[in-house]
Amino acid sequence: MPKPIYVLNGPNLNLLGQREPEVYGHATLDDVKDRVAARAEQFSLPIEFYQSNKEGELVDWIQEARAKACGLIINAGAYTHTSVAILDALLAADIPCVEVHLSNIFKREEFRHHSYISTACVGVICGFGVKSYELAVEALAERLETKRG
Ligand code: CA2
């Protein structure tokens, strides 16, 4: 059994599908999980899917991922724009990480244009709704395969 991809979701993403559908779409976080799992399954990769409103809990999962995961996908929510703690955890993780966002953060307020965590990631995907996560699975799977070969 291959190691899973950890998929981490930050603050307020538990509210997906309940508020601001014009920005974040109608899918719930459970829908996101199902679509990510289905895409990962096509590459025979299991997933561990988590959401937390607490910065420290996200840091704990990133630390855990170092030993237990083959790669990591993270939508850090608003912590994207504030968290040196999440950046440091990702830099220490030593596994490929992809940053994702549902919305196109560059079309939004100025404060969303800067991400603290991008420099620790192999790539950033934003603006495609739930598809951003599926594209991240695809990119990660391709990269892992390349590494194996
Ligand atoms: O576009 C994204 O995925 C974001 O990471 C979402 C964050 C936001 O702070 C980032 O700038 C971009 C916010 C997630 C909050 O999600 C909600 C969902 C439904 C209703 C209210 C908030």
Eight-state DSSP code of residue 78: G
Eight-state DSSP code of residue 112: G
For residue 135, the tally of other CB atoms under 10 A from its CB is 17
Residue bearing the CA closest to ligand 1, atom 7 = 77
Give the C-alpha separation, 103 to 78, whole Å.
12
Q: Quick: pLDDT tens for 88-131.
A: 999 999 999 999 999 999 999 999 999 999 999 999 999 999 99
Give the C-alpha separation, 81 to 92, whole Å.
19
C-alpha 95: how far from its chain's center?
13
Whether residue 13 has its Cβ less than 6 Å from ligand 1 = yes
Q: Quick: pLDDT tens for 35-69.
A: 999 999 999 999 999 999 999 999 999 999 999 99
Q: Determine the distance separating the centroid of ligand 1 and the alpha carbon of 51, expressed in angstroms.
A: 12
Q: Determine the distance separating the centroid of ligand 1 and the alpha carbon of 44, expressed in angstroms.
A: 29
Task: Please give the model's pTM, rounded to 2 decimal places.
Answer: 0.96
If you average pLDDT over every residue of the chain, what do you get? 96
Q: Determine the distance separating the centroid of ligand 1 and the alpha carbon of 55, expressed in angstroms.
A: 15
Active-site residue set: 24, 101
Amino acid at 13: L
What region does 12 belong to: left with phi over 0, alpha with psi -120 to 50, or beta?
left
